[in-house]
Amino acid sequence: MSFRVTILGATSAIPTKSKAPTAQIISSEQSSYLVDCGEGTQIQMRKYGVKMQRLEAIFISHMHGDHYFGLVGLLNSMSLLGREKTLKIFAPPLLQNIIELQFKAAKTKPKFKIEFRNLTFDQHIKIFEDNKIEVYTIPLDHRIPCNGFLFREKPLPLKIKKEKITQYAIPIEKIKAIKAGSDYQTENGKIIPNASLTIKPTAPHQYAFCSDTLYNEDIIPIIQNSELLYHEATFTNSEAQRASDTYHSTAAQAAAIAHKASVKKLILGHYSARYKNTDQHLSEAASIFENTHCARQGDVFITE
């Protein structure tokens, strides 16, 4: 099982006719999850064929508007379109009050249940899991409390060698225990080590989303060896001081994190509106970490 990351928006602060603020869809088989919800996210979802009613959960990194201003509109549309399934929203504590106030002012009540889960910002902890994936917080260093999110596939069981089932006449009811790591004892009492019966599965897929942050090496152990890393790159080197002053990162700093964390692929995003294109972002980052890509709305990245 792999993760499919669809970029709905990758600019910062001010949306334009051609650029939408931060929002991403992470898909896994038939389930999908929304990370951040900048203004116009529901329009971007329609544009790129994302089915909003399939959302299992929404994760909001922090309370700057370019990361959540699209949420109340999205929730309202989901209700109008007949959603009934409960939706979980993982977000800073203030967001629940904001959303509920907007619905109260409009004398509107969603037709589906919304479960708000308040986030903390100083710990790397698991906040969500289903039968396939786990989601963890990545504490970041921004002007206000901010998290990134680590999406990790649950470890797969060992694979049993089919020829060993025949060789040792292994009953069906014993296979589950063997896949969980147990040795097997034959009818005559011989112990067959698990290592000779099974094959290790592929490593779990992993995607790390790092929202607004200063350069922060504390996140490296958390995101280590991720197949995909999205890291904000609001500025280029010419604006390094401004990046520091506003608690953002440069493209080169994002690349340095990717290199030190031994990730496979780096995706840059959250560009300042001052840049007409991202050529300089890509040039500066690729000189440090070659496998770098600049996110564009509509881009799709897949863990592999």
Q: Name the residues annotated as catalytic.
A: 66
* Helix-then-strand count for the chain, H and E: 10, 18
For residues 184 and 133, the answer to whether their CB atoms sit within 8 Å is: no
Between CA 288 and CA 35 the distance in angstroms is 27
* Residue closest to 302 by CA, chosen among 26, 111, 98, 97: 26
Name the nearest CA neighbour of 27 among 304, 300, 209: 300
Listed residue (264, 282, 252) closest to 224, CA to CA: 264
**Cβ(208)–Cβ(222) under 8 Å?**
yes
Encoded tokens for 265: 């692929």
